[in-house]
Amino acid sequence: MTLRIGTRGSRLALAQANEVVAALGRNGVETELVPITTSGDRGADPSSDPAGVKGLFVTEIVRALLNGEVDLAVHSAKDLPAVDDEGVAIAAVPERASALDVLVTRDGELAPGARVGTSSVRRQAQVFRWRPDVTVKDLRGNVDTRLRKLADGEADALILAAAGLLRLGVVPEHASPMSLSEMVPAPGQGCLAVQARADDGATLEALAPLDHGPSRDALEAERGIMARLGGGCALPLGAYAERSEAGIRMIAIALTPDGGRLARAEVQAATPDGAAGLAALELSAGGADEILGLVRP
């Protein structure tokens, strides 16, 4: 049996899919990559998809999965909406790469008044809190495009996901990881989510050995806070969870886009769902519902 793997066709998406190809190959499973162009790749307006920005990069791939055109799909977990489509299951969450963001500068420093390039409202809001003396420039494109724009002087610095740089084998000359106190990552950042049809027992069985328990627990907690706070669209919401001997520890924040208001939660619970529930309560008590209500479509 050869499993057909649906993936976006970008260099990073193919690198992610090839991680799964290699893992399945080690277990003797043959695979075939099926690149799929999504509406997000075509530059569609987020309002064109019911799931907003997140749906732009996954809807066509999930449709191909449900239609039987592919047997499994590999996603960057942070691109997934908070709730799975009916008939689809996350069959495996491989071991997570770094969840942190990285500050990449052109000349090794971030001077007052520097222009920080990012299209993420979450990153923008935290930059304003961390460095109120810099400006933010809307900068879009894949990793290679953004690094080229940095080199060309369109910005003085970028904020990129460490996992993306690692998977691409890109090592910028001036790059430093950002701590959780500086930049709480997007829910699911650094995780891969491997989807299959919920009734496809053979594929689910083939993918089961790829599942990494601590990484799945972290992703479930982070998606849980998204679901409770209405995270189907791009919101200034950050979350990071990890499993320890004491249970699931999670940090979560919600901010206004200008960084002026912040709700923060730091909780611990026995289960991912418990951590998500506690964090949602703590964020709501801190005004998160009102904060996120200002930016929801």
Q: Which residues are catalytic?
A: 79
Q: The tokens of 270 are what?
A: 């026995």
Q: Are 115 and 148 in contact (CB under 8 A)?
A: no
Nearest to 81 by CA among 65, 101, 59, 64: 59
**CA-to-CA distance for 251 and 47, rounded, in angstroms?**
29
Cβ proximity of 195 and 62 under 8 Å: yes
DSSP 8-state secondary structure symbol assigned to residue 156: S
| SS3 call for 155 | coil
Is the separation of the CB atoms in 116 and 136 below 8 Å?
yes
Task: Report the SS3 class of residue 234.
Answer: coil
